[in-house]
Amino acid sequence: MIQLVFFTLVIPVTLLLHEVGHGIGVVLTSKSNPHIYLGSSGEDNRENFQVGRFHFHLQWAYFGCCKWDGRMDKLQRFLCLLSGPLMNLFLMGITVLLLRLESEGWTRTLLAGVADLNLVMLVINLIPFKLPKKIGSFQSDGLQLLRLLKERASIEEKI
């Protein structure tokens, strides 16, 4: 039963919260509106609802992204990219604290799974990698952060 809940609810919700983390970075650093996608970011995933400046495009899926309208400088983009993994760190911390209150049973097992999932998502998202085009050309947050840092360094070298 716990596995069913984990795979049908916990993983997609955790992915959604990771993308909301990116969106929080967008809202805090710019006037852009974040578009949170769970599932495809194509035209087939239309906006479901809006909360403040957040626009949600949700399908049941194990992948997502956050896009924003408008231009942002390098620092803003850096903070927006980093805020997704920071959300995983925050969620992991909360679940670890809740684990200290729960001594046994299925709730403890579920909380431990949520903590582990957020640790795995944090680490995987910070590893720089890109998936092949066949799979979707996904670029990890780590790769995007690394490219942004290299771009900044190359600009400073020219000055």
pLDDT of 1 higher than 90: no
Place 154 in a pLDDT band, splitting at 50, 70 and 90. low
Residues, the chain: 159
**Is 60 exceeded by the pLDDT of residue 152?**
no
Segment 41-50 mean pLDDT: 94
Instruction: Please name the residues in contact with 28: beta carbons below 8 A apart, sequence gap of 6 or more.
Output: 79, 83
In the predicted model, what is the mean pLDDT of the chain?
Answer: 91
Helix/strand/coil for 130: strand
Indicate if the pLDDT at residue 119 is higher than 90: yes
pLDDT at position 153, please?
57
CA atoms within 13 A on the CB side of 2: 10
Read off the pLDDT of each residue in 34-56 and give the average, rounded to a whole number: 95
**Residue 131 or residue 53, greater confidence:** 53
Short-list 136, 158, 144, 110, CA closest to 40: 136
* pLDDT > 70 in the chain, percent: 94
Strand-pair category, 64-68 with 54-58: unpaired
Q: What is the pLDDT of residue 21?
A: 98
- Determine contact, residues 12/60, Cβ cutoff 8 Å: yes
Q: What angle do CA 139, 35, 95 make, to 5 degrees?
A: 75
pLDDT of residue 30: 96
Residue 156 has pLDDT above 60, yes or no: no
